[in-house]
Amino acid sequence: MDSAMSVNDEQLKTRLTSKAQIAQAVLKLAESGTPFDEWLTALTNSFYVDLDAFSEIMGLPTIDFEHLVPEL
């Protein structure tokens, strides 16, 4: 993918927001032989990905930012 992607190209990306959609995409990457550490990059090159849902599917911890920022 060209690193000089325009805003219009970004707007054309499909959103992967459900765990089912993300799981299906990850399965296809695994079946195609894409290395595990390249899955997120491969997905975000073509899609907007819900990172919390991706992390849950992958069994990665998520960060609760609300508890990191003190209330003003």
Range of the structural domain that residue 31 is part of: 9-67
Q: Could you state, in chain order, the average pLDDT of each consecutive group of 10 residues for the chain (72 residues)?
A: 54 88 94 95 94 88 66 56
pLDDT of residue 1: 46
Number of domains in the chain: 1
Q: Is residue 24 part of a domain?
A: yes
Q: How far apart are CA 45 and CA 25, in angstroms?
A: 13
**Look-up: residue for tokens 């959103």?**
15
Looking at residue 49, what DSSP letter applies? Answer: E
Q: Is residue 36 part of a domain?
A: yes
Task: Please state the pTM of the whole predicted model.
Answer: 0.68
Q: Is residue 1 part of a domain?
A: no
Angstrom distances, CA of residue 31 to CA of 12, 24, 25, 27, 43:
26, 11, 10, 6, 14
Q: Is residue 4 part of a domain?
A: no
